[in-house]
Amino acid sequence: VVEAYKQGLRPAVGYELNPWLLCLSKYRAWKAGYHGRVAFLKEDLWKVNLSDCCNVIVFLAPSVKPPLAAKLLAELPDEARVVAGRFPFPSWTPSSTLGEGLEQVWAYDMKEVRRAARSSAGGSPV
């Protein structure tokens, strides 16, 4: 979230249910000098409406990616970009990638993800 803010993405908001990770995130933002400029909320990502988001960054396990892909397809606008850290979305083709190994990220433009889903033989977007 701090890096997103540094790159000019506003607002920069993180959602976390685990209270320890939530406190750690807030502490790290404070220590880096970004207290009050970024936010970390104790929210369930599955219950948050993402329809007004233009940039979504996720660091989640591979097992969560298929249901998350369905949520993102249903809620995000075509102009949105999704960046996945550590693990890619298994059936999406990234618009770009950066890094290697544990530091690799995959970027997906929702308009392209939807276009590929419509043109695929199976038609499954996730």
pLDDT value for 122: 57
Q: Which domains does the chain have, with CATH numbers?
A: 1-43 (no CATH), 50-121 (3.40.50.150)
pTM over the 0.75 mark: yes
Q: Which residues pair with 40 in a beta bridge?
A: 14
Instruction: Give the separation between CA 35 and CA 108, rounded to whole angstroms.
Output: 29
Contact 69/94 with Cβ under 8 angstroms? no
The tokens describing 81, both together, are 């970009």
pLDDT value for 117: 86
Instruction: Give the separation between CA 117 and CA 112, rounded to whole angstroms.
Output: 8
pLDDT value for 126: 56
Residue 109's SS3 state is strand
The CB density around residue 68, as the number of other CB atoms within 10 Å, is: 19
* pLDDT tens, N- to C-terminus, the chain (126 residues): 998 899 898 889 999 999 999 999 999 999 999 999 999 999 999 999 999 999 999 988 999 999 999 999 999 999 999 999 989 999 999 999 999 998 999 999 999 999 998 887 455 555
pLDDT value for 124: 53
